[in-house]
Amino acid sequence: MNTPPFTGSGLGLRRALLGPFQAHGDLSPVQFMEIAPENWIPIGGQEGRLLRDFAARYPMVLHGLSLSIGGPDPLDEAFIHNVKAFKKEINSPLYSEHLSYCTDGAHLYDLMPIPFTPEAVIYVANRISRVQDIMGERIAIENVSYYAAPGAEMSEIDFLNAVLEKADCLLLLDVNNIYVNSINHRYDALQFLHALPGERIAYGHIAGHHNEAADLIVDTHGAEVIDNVWDILDAAYATFGVFPTLLERDFNFPPLTELLGEVARIDQLQQKHSGKLALNA
């Protein structure tokens, strides 16, 4: 795999942040952004113009919400073609999605867990391969948070690695999801991290979460990142080398200076490990 055409630290572009971003001016150390294509493909007018302005200034990664790669419904190939055209229009370097599903006859408005089974590996990998055939390139698949594992016949790490290998796709490494799952499902986060195929990492996510109880964490993207999650990102860079990493924040937005401060912390960790080349370089 070649070095990705975007580097450094990033921040998700949400509609509520368009005004603050525009008013702030210099968004350093932000070096790339990310959007959900479903939320932007149909948008025109002033917001559409602002999006395209930011896309002209920053690499704009597409991170999908509704592909439902593990779902029972047929793939929405018309939607995939729309994503491909939109990606070309804004010169986006990458399309990524979640290793989950969100449809079953209709949209479920949540990311549901795929059963960890050998049969599901084949099913999901074949669907990823079809998406990649349409897109004409590899996509990245994100390790997701989950709160139940119905019908599991494999561990999470074995399932994830098997899908990545069979589909020959890339990995969007979400370090917060590793931490959330390690608490909820009682496994060692660093052991999970070290078992990942570092050569497949396209980029990473870091985010905040909500502590529902001592043994239950909910992935929310609505709070600041905690030290334990920063430590996993630090370990990821030490293990795999520096890869592009984006701060996810979807609501409860603090002042923009605080968000940029968290992005700066990504940048600082990347500088700490700057002498170590990423495995996908």
Q: Which region among 13-22, 56-65, 205-214, 268-277 has the lowest average model confidence (pLDDT)?
A: 205-214
Q: Which amino acid is located at 107 in the chain?
A: H
DSSP 38-76: GGTTT--HHHHHHHHHHHHHS-EEEE-SS--TTSSSPP-
| C-beta of residue 28 within 8 angstroms of C-beta of residue 47 | no
Q: What are the pLDDT digits (tens) for 107-153?
A: 645 676 789 999 999 999 999 999 999 999 999 999 998 887 788 89
> pTM of the predicted model, to two decimals?
0.92
Domains in the chain (CATH in brackets) are: 9-272 (3.20.20.150)
SS3 of residue 128 by DSSP? helix
| C-beta of residue 277 within 8 angstroms of C-beta of residue 241 | yes
User: Would you state the pLDDT for residue 2?
Assistant: 42
82 vs 113: which has the higher pLDDT: 82
Residue carrying structure tokens 């079953």: 104
User: Would you state the pLDDT for residue 126?
Assistant: 97
Q: What is the largest CA-CA distance in the chain?
A: 51
